[in-house]
Amino acid sequence: AAEDPTGAIVDLRRRGARVPANPLRRPVRTLPRPNPESLAATVSILRRVASTPLGGVRVDSAVAIALLQQAALHGHEVLIGYVDAAGVATQRAVRPLAVRGGQLIAWDSTQGRPREFALHRVTSVIPSESG
């Protein structure tokens, strides 16, 4: 710091470098359209949830794991209640592929790819009509 001729304090430190904002926008990613079988299974599960008291019941973790393992074994879709890291609760229709190491690996038809879900964040599991 220093003083100018009027006695005011002047900051002599270098100003931080500024990077201009990128004027290019990210391209819009279109999601794949779900197939009719996936839509039918999702509608079936949602109807089953709607008819369940309180929209689904919390299950014991051992029961949830057993239901998920059975669904993975038989290739059935399930509806899971899930709480993400921010504490936001959602319901997702997924097709479990494997349950291991505290993770559910499942095909998420809305994103068109496999996803991993932490088992301790699964709040409910509702089997599909065919499960």
Q: What is the pLDDT of residues 40-58, one digit of tens each?
A: 877 877 777 666 654 455 6
Question: How many CA within 13 A on the CB side of residue 16?
Answer: 3
Tens digits of residue pLDDT in 26-42: 777 787 787 888 788 77
What's the chain's average pLDDT? 83
What are the chain's domains? 33-127 (2.30.30.100)
Tens digits of residue pLDDT in 14-27: 877 777 777 777 77
100: pLDDT strictly greater than 90: yes
Please tell me the least confidently modeled range out of 46-50, 103-107, 116-120: 46-50
Whole-Å CA distances, 22 to 17, 25, 26, 85: 15, 8, 10, 30
